Amino acid sequence: MPASIQTVSVEKPEHRTAHGGGNGRPPHEDIKYTGGGGDNDEFRNRRSEGHLGPRETLHRYRISLFSLLIGDTMFFIAAAGIFFINRSSYHANAYGRIVQDWHAIAVPPILWLNTAVLLLSSFTMEMARRQMFREEDLLEEWLGLGKPSTRRTRPWLIATWLLGALFLAGQVVAWNQLKPHALVYAGQSRQSFYLLTGAHAAHIVLGLVALLACLVLAPRLRRVELRQVMVDCTSWYWHAMGIFWIALFVLLEWFQ
C-alpha cells in the first residue's frame, strides 16, 4: 500500500510587545539597558522616560553657557577692532600736515598685579569645581551622609570671590591713575583703554554675582547635580574672563 504524505502547516510565533500584539521588534521604550554601562544605563532609561540624567543635564547647561561665551568673544573682538581702527586714525591740521590722532598711554603698572590676582583666582575657581565632582563626597551625599562636596567647595569659592573683588579694586586704582593725565591723553587711546577695561570689569561683576549665588543658593539645593551645574558653569565663565583679560592686557601693553 503506497505511503501517504501529510503536510503540516507551521505558524511563526508572534513577537508581542508590552502594549499588545503585533509583529516585529519591540518598541524602543521597552528596551532595558543592562550590564557593563555603569550609570550610563540609568541616563538612557531616564531619557526614554522624558527625564535628563545628571551628566546630560550638565552637558546641556555647558552648551548654553558656551553659546553665551561665543557672543562675549565676538563683543571683545569687535572692541579690539575699534582699538586698531583708532590706533591708525589720522587727521590734517591747520597747516595741512597729517597728524596721528593716537597717542600711546603708559599702562599703569598695577595692571601687572591685577593680572596675577586674576590668574590666581582662576586657579582657586578650578579647585572649587574639582571639589564639587569628587566621587567619594558624591557617594556620601547619595547615601544621605551630608553634603561634604559643598563644604569642601566653599573655602575655594570664598577665596575666588575675594580675589575677584581685589582685581576690581585694582582696576579702579588703574583708572584713577589715568585721571591726572586727562588733558594730555584726551584722545582715542584713553577712550579705548576705558572701553576695554570697563567692559571686562562689568563681566567680572557678573562673575562675582554668580559666585555669591554658588555660596548662598547652591547649598540649599537638594539635587546634587544642580549644585554641580552652578559651580561648573560659574567656573567656566570665570576661566573665560581670565582668558579675555590676558588678551586685552597684551593688547594694551604691547600693541599701542
**Per-residue cell: 48:** 526614554
pTM value is: 0.75
pLDDT tens digit sequence for 101-146: 787 888 899 999 999 999 999 999 999 999 988 887 777 776 666 6
Residues whose CB is less than 8 angstroms from the CB of residue 131 and which lie 6 or more positions away in sequence, other chains included = 137, 149, 152, 153, 156
Q: What is the mean pLDDT of residues 203-232?
A: 92
**Per-residue cell: 159:** 577665596
**Separation between Cα atoms, residue 234 and residue 129, nearest integer Å:** 9
- Other beta carbons less than 10 A from residue 121's beta carbon: 26
Q: Which domains does the chain have, with CATH numbers?
A: 14-51 (no CATH), 55-254 (1.20.120.80)
